[in-house]
């Protein structure tokens, strides 16, 4: 059973995951306007992944007989002045997500909620990969500089990102 403090924090994270999807959807739209459909596709998959994460939190809260509390989703704010700015914004956002997940894990430990700590382990590990993947794209964009050919190559590469699916590990918690 989850206590009130932990339930509230898990609900906040669930809503934050939905908000993250909204941010990535906005980034995808900005990249579409830049005529970078591969980059936009990458961000849409990112948005889908965040909705999957929100669903995992939703199920965990419900599975523990706690109340799911929905909240308002704020309008996404990010720098859309160029493709590099968008991806740097995505990395900044992922670092915020990492910090939030770490705080949730600390809260689970403080409350001796070992099941919640085990549940959050997936997200702790996931965030390492999330930050790494966005950083790799930023590194490639920075190497490309002003080369339109290199940008088109990167865009084409990002178009190959596979659709997001719920991770097997998260389905078992």
Nearest-angstrom CA–CA distance, 30 and 66 = 38
Nearest-angstrom CA–CA distance, 39 and 143 = 16
Residue 170 confidence (pLDDT) above 80: no
Q: What is the model's pLDDT at position 1?
A: 72
Residue 171 confidence (pLDDT) above 70: no
The DSSP string of 29-91 is: HHHHHTT-HHHHHHHHHHHHHHHHHHHHHHHHHHHTT--------PPP----SSHHHHHHHHH
Q: Summarize pLDDT for 10-69 with one digit per residue, the tens.
A: 999 999 999 999 999 999 999 999 999 999 999 999 999 999 999 999 999 999 999 999
94 is in an annotated binding site: yes
149 is in an annotated binding site: no
Q: What is the mean pLDDT of residues 109-120?
A: 96
State whether CATH 1.20.1260.10 applies to domain 4-162: yes
Q: Does residue 129 contact residue 151 with C-beta atoms inside 8 Å?
A: no
Q: Summarize pLDDT for 63-100 with one digit per residue, the tens.
A: 999 999 999 999 999 999 999 999 999 999 999 999 99
135 is in an annotated binding site: no
131 is in an annotated binding site: no
């Amino acid at each position: 059973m989850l206590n009130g403090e932990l339930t509230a924090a898990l609900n906040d994270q669930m809503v934050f995951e939905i908000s993250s999807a909204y941010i990535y959807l906005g980034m995808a739209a900005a990249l579409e306007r830049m005529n970078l459909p591969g980059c936009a596709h990458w961000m849409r998959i990112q948005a889908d992944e965040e909705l999957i994460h929100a669903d995992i939190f939703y199920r965990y809260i419900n599975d523990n007989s706690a109340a799911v509390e929905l909240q308002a989703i704020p309008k996404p704010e990010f720098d859309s002045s160029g493709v590099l700015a968008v991806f740097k914004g995505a990395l900044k956002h992922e670092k915020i997500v990492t910090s939030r997940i770490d705080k949730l894990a600390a809260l689970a430990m403080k409350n001796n909620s070992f099941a919640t700590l085990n549940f959050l382990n997936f997200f702790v590990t996931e965030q390492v990969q999330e930050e790494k993947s966005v950083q790799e794209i930023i590194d490639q964009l920075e190497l490309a500089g002003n080369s339109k050919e290199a940008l088109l190559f990167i865009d084409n590469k990002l178009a190959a990102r596979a659709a997001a699916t719920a991770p097997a590990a998260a389905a078992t918690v």
